């Protein structure tokens, strides 16, 4: 478990109302909502051009200019190789470099998404037998 440092802050009335609403909606404590927002904001400032999307339990870094999640670009880059990806891919070099730099900083989360995408049919059937029922 990662140790965190407690922080005291004051939110504007509007921000506090929104955080309170999110806490009720998601069942998460207000501190977890604020921590998640701060983490995303810090990453977006550290890597200008990166944004986040997806549901609360699956927020993913993506490149709005390219239209892809970062893990999707990394998966294609790794699968095709750098030369072929640059020759055949339709991704601006700036977007690719941003994705690679972000990946270098946060490989675990992106590798998890890539691995989940590479789940075989047999693995899915074992995990979700009703999905493949012949009824």
**Domain that residue 126 falls in:** 48-135
Q: Which residue has the tokens 């893990």?
A: 71
54 and 101 both lie in a single domain: yes
Q: In the structure encoding, which two tokens stand for residue 75, read together?
A: 């998966």
User: Same structural domain for residues 73 and 115?
Assistant: yes
Same domain, 30 and 52: no
Q: Report if residue 96 sits inside a domain.
A: yes
Please list the alpha-helical segments (H only) found in the chain.
13-26, 30-46, 70-80, 82-88, 93-105, 107-117, 121-127
**What was the pLDDT predicted at 132?**
65
| Claim to verify: residue 134 and residue 69 sit in the same structural domain | yes
- Count of domains observed in the chain: 2
Q: What is the pLDDT of residue 126?
A: 82
Low-confidence ranges of the chain (pLDDT < 50): none
**Whether residues 121 and 99 fall in one domain:** yes
Please tell me the predicted confidence (pLDDT) of residue 65: 87
Say what the pLDDT of residue 56 is: 86
pLDDT of res. 89: 84
Dihedral sign for Cα atoms in the order 80, 84, 86, 88: negative
Give me the pLDDT at residue 127, please: 79
Structure tokens at 78: 């790794």
The residues, any chain, with a CB within 8 Å of residue 101's CB and separated by 6 or more, are 47
Alpha carbons 113 and 132: distance in angstroms, whole number = 23
Predicted local confidence at residue 119, as pLDDT: 82
User: Is residue 4 a part of any domain in this protein?
Assistant: no
For residues 75 and 132, membership in a common domain is answered with yes
């Amino acid at each position: 478990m990662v140790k965190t440092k407690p922080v005291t802050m004051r939110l504007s009335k509007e921000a506090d109302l929104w955080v309170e609403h999110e806490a009720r909606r998601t069942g998460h404590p207000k501190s977890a909502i604020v921590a998640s927002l701060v983490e995303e904001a810090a990453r977006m400032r550290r890597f200008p051009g990166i944004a986040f999307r997806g549901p609360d339990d699956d927020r993913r870094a993506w490149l709005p200019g390219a239209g892809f999640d970062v893990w999707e670009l990394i998966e294609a880059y790794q699968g095709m190789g750098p030369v072929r990806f640059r020759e055949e891919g339709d991704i601006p070099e700036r977007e690719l470099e941003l994705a690679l730099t972000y990946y270098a900083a946060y490989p675990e989360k992106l590798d998890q998404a890539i691995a989940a995408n590479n789940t075989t049919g047999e693995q899915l059937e074992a995990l979700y037998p009703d999905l493949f029922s012949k009824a």
